[in-house]
Amino acid sequence: MKTKLTVIKIGGNVIDDAETLKHVLQEFSELNSPKILIHGGGKIASELSLKLGIQPKMIEGRRITDAETLKVVTMAYGGLVNKNIVALLQAFGCDALGLTGADANVIPAQKRANKEIDYGYVGDFETDSINIERLSFFIEGGLTPVFCALTHDKNGSLLNTNADTLAAGIATALSKKYDVKLIYCFEKPGVLLDAEDDKTLIRELGYLHYQQLKDDGIIHTGMIPKLENAFAARRHGIDVGIKHALDLNKSAGTILL
Amino acid sequence: MKTKLTVIKIGGNVIDDAETLKHVLQEFSELNSPKILIHGGGKIASELSLKLGIQPKMIEGRRITDAETLKVVTMAYGGLVNKNIVALLQAFGCDALGLTGADANVIPAQKRANKEIDYGYVGDFETDSINIERLSFFIEGGLTPVFCALTHDKNGSLLNTNADTLAAGIATALSKKYDVKLIYCFEKPGVLLDAEDDKTLIRELGYLHYQQLKDDGIIHTGMIPKLENAFAARRHGIDVGIKHALDLNKSAGTILL
């Protein structure tokens, strides 16, 4: 029987509030099974970018990452957010190890080639390229990997990668070796029929139902790429949940069928 | 017989120039024995600080680290500098792992208590507290730890720590298990009698000689804390060299007696 492994993604809005972040990290620390945390930090990166006089550019929710913006996200994701999360987890007794995909070459990637839009230093990775052996080495050694959404091109450059995609990829790659559960945490109790009404939580969501809700415009904008990533992992047989960050160990949120 | 381990500290001026940095990292990658890199980044932190409207404050070469400055050094050291070095080392085939002292709890520290000067979030560590087991786990696993000069207080806060002191501490702690060689690399060929004349290199320097040179004002300012750290490691029986970053594998520089 495979060992259980919980992979949790926490989004930017969870990170922005210090008290919420502490609460989530404390609950995360209390999870008994081996675990991995993946975090975003887009809002902090955008704020830093503006302070440094660089106007953030987004296309369909994806950050256009020129050389200066790559520095900004490296500082925000790899430095400020990642290292503070690691320090907080250590305070909660969780032996966290902060990682980018460059560290120990855990996630090699390729700079995105797109003829229509130049995304800049944005990286796409193959799930098969994820360094399962090295991640297992850390996990079996009692460490809890904490990922920011940076990968590398193996030629010396870091690459900005979507954190939701990274979470799905890591969960999928590790499902070869572990019994993986993937949880996306954010500021809502799960997938809602009405984003403004928490009571409209969808407790179970299948792919056809999701497509219908998307066609009807009920699921829209940021939830679409998140759910596409989540369903991609689900198709590999991984249990996937989407829930409120403050309900990590209590509510089931939305479970993907 | 103990395994050889080379601990190399590279200073801020080496990091500032992209070509010099690449050269040093390539030479570092070519070292056959297990190795650890420790880097500074003070100039990059000061530049970032100024861009963000925070005037850097230094007392006797030590940065006063208030809460905002701690964020700046976390971004600069832990993010920008550390992760770029890791990505470059990976490109040179060196399996680097970027670390702060919070990661895997490798260097727990205490916030400095000083009645006269409030250094803020500055950390002092005990050499005996360095997590030798965890560092060995990484090294024996074929990884090359790359440290920025941040530690943590085990209560959730990162702490700014002098990189020269960190290098000496790590070298000393690991000398219990490894045959350690410590090399301080910077922009000069070693300890000079005349800082402006590379031909005045002191090839061998003992502690009494150093004290005499210090009393005579020949060794001064930034070299004093560097040499104090270097001699502290030397007293533990560690081979210590001080040399030009571009001569990492060629010149002996200054050898401490």
Residue-wise pLDDT for A73-108, tens only, equals 999 999 999 999 999 999 999 999 999 999 999 999
Does A231 contact B at CB distance below 8 Å?
no
Query: What percent of chain B has pLDDT above 70?
Result: 99
Asked if residue A33 is part of any domain, the answer here is yes
The confidence score (pLDDT) of residue A11 equals 87
Q: A168 lies in a domain?
A: yes
Whether A171 shows a pLDDT value over 80: the answer reads: yes
Check whether A42 is labelled as a binding-site residue.
yes
Tokens 């490109």: give the residue: B91
Distance between alpha carbon A100 and the CA centroid of its chain, in Å?
Answer: 12
Identify the CATH number of the domain in which residue A78 sits.
3.40.1160.10
CA diameter of chain B:
53
pLDDT of the residue at B85: 98
Closest residue to A103, CB basis, from B48, B74, B86: B86
Please count the CA atoms within 13 angstroms of the CA of B131 that sit on its side-chain side: 20
Query: Residue A92 gets which letter from DSSP?
Result: T
Looking at the structure of chain B, the number of domains it has is: 1
**Helix A223-234 and helix A207-215, axial crossing angle in degrees, nearest 10:** 160
Q: Which residue reads 């450059």 in tokens?
A: A157
Q: Which of A83, A97, A104 sits opposite B74 (nearest CB)?
A: A83
Of A82, A143, A156, the CB nearest to B104: A143
Q: Kindly list the residues from chain A whose CB atom is less than 8 angstroms away from the CB atom of residue B135.
A: none
Provide the b/e sequence for A159-184 (b: ≥16 CB within 10 Å). Answer: bbbbbbbbbbbbbbbbbeebbbbbbb
In this structure, what token pair is assigned to residue A165? Answer: 């995609």
pLDDT in tens, A102-131: 999 999 999 998 778 889 999 999 999 999
Measured CA to CA, the distance from residue A211 to residue B142 in angstroms comes to 46
- Note down pLDDT in tens along chain B; length 257 residues: 899 999 999 986 889 889 999 999 999 999 988 999 999 998 999 999 999 999 988 887 778 999 999 999 999 999 999 999 999 999 999 999 999 999 999 999 999 987 788 899 999 999 999 999 999 999 999 999 999 999 999 999 999 999 999 999 999 999 999 999 999 999 899 999 998 999 999 999 999 999 999 999 999 888 898 999 999 999 999 999 999 988 887 888 999 99
ipTM of the complex: 0.96
A197 lies in a domain?
no
Measured from the Cβ of residue B250, the count of other Cβ atoms closer than 10 Å reads 10
Could you read off the pLDDT of B80-125 as tens digits, one per residue? 999 999 999 999 999 999 999 999 999 999 999 877 888 999 999 9
Interface check B176 vs A, CB under 8 A: no
Which CB contacts under 8 angstroms, 24+ apart, belong to B2-5? B2/B177, B2/B178, B2/B179, B3/B33, B3/B34, B3/B178, B3/B179, B4/B33, B4/B34, B4/B178, B4/B179, B4/B181, B5/B33, B5/B34, B5/B35, B5/B36, B5/B139, B5/B174, B5/B178, B5/B179, B5/B180, B5/B181
A197's tokens: 């009404």
pLDDT at B247: 83
Residue B36: which H helix or E strand, with range?
strand B35-39
Return the closest-CA partner of residue B140 out of B37, B230, B33: B33
Contact A127, A169 (CB under 8 A): yes
Q: Nearest-CA neighbor of A124 among A149, A148, A90, A99?
A: A149
Size of interface A-B (CB pairs under 8 A): 119
pLDDT value for A252: 85
Q: Is residue A198 part of a domain?
A: no
Range of the domain at A132: 3-187+240-249
Given an 8 Å threshold on Cβ–Cβ distance, is A98 in contact with B103?
A: yes
The DSSP letter of residue B2 is P
Residue A215 domain flag: no
